[in-house]
Copies of this chain bind each other. A is one copy, B any other.
Amino acid sequence: MTAATESRLRVRYAETDNMGVVYYANYYIWMEVGRVDFCKARGFNYRDMEIEDGIFLAVAESTCRYRYPARFDDEVIVKTRIEEANARTVTFAYEICLVEGNRVLATGSTRHVFVSRAMQRTRLPEKYHGLFGLATTATLG
């Protein structure tokens, strides 16, 4: 369990649908925003890990429970934390809230595996272990 980071965003018109609310798949895009910010707050840049180390975080599983609909122009907070991590996989948990009143819109999670550019499963390089809250001893994985 780790401290959560908070990302703010505003609902785009493009993200709404015919029902007048945010289309359900778009919450997963907001989780991505939260995840990227979380990594930055931990002191590393997801983009650099891709470019410099050739390590990608492929999504293995995603879930979302929708509590209350978000609408166009709502200001939203994505609270992101790591739920579980080891050298092969990391699970993020998210709580997505309205800024106004802190009402919970949705909760969700994404589980990722570390892969190479060729999409082969790999282990997280040791230099990143601390950033994901992993011990840096040899017993991992």
Contacts and interface: CB of A to CB of B under 8 A. Distances in A.
Interface of A: 12-14, 16-21, 23-26, 28-29, 32-33, 36, 45-47, 50, 56, 58-66, 69, 71-73, 110, 119
Contact of A29 (B14, B20, B32, B47): B14
A13 B23 contact: yes
B36 A14 contact: no
A10 to B, nearest CB: 8
Each complex incorporates copies of this chain amounting to 4
B59 A47 contact: no
Contacts of A21: 58, 119
The 6 A-B residue pairs whose C-beta atoms are closest, nearest first, are: A25-B28, A16-B18, A24-B59, A47-B73, A63-B63, A14-B29
